[in-house]
Amino acid sequence: MIVLVAKYHVRPGHSETVAAALRRMAPLVAENEPGCLLYHANRSTEIDNLFLLYEHYADVAAFDAHRQTKHFREIIEGEIVPLLEKRERELYEPVAP
């Protein structure tokens, strides 16, 4: 399994747009990506323009497939990334099965 933790630091004035785009993204992942075992998009309760994505993929191939989907390219890369000040991404493996 591959675990992704991503932080989106949104430019001021664009947080609601990013939140709406993430709400559209989640069901598309659930409906079209059997290799994505968990997809949670979260918004900080303390910092309005900070979002955290927490995702589980069956394997590296499923993670790579996610990044090639139409919805990832259109929503994440096309709509959200241009509104970010910074994007951080970390990949993990579970310590125990």
Is 97 inside any structural domain?
no
Backbone phi and psi for residue 46, each to the nearest 5 degrees, phi listed first: -110, -30
Residue 97 has pLDDT above 80, yes or no: no
Tokens of 92: 């993990």
What is the sign of the dihedral through the CA atoms of 22, 28, 30 and 36? negative
- Give the domain extent around 18: 2-92
Is 28 inside any structural domain?
yes
CATH of the domain at 51: 3.30.70.100
pLDDT at 23: 98
C-alpha atoms less than 13 angstroms from C-alpha of 50 in its C-beta half-sphere: 6
pLDDT at 96: 84
Q: Is the pTM of this model over 0.85?
A: yes
Q: How far is CA 28 from the centre of its chain?
A: 12
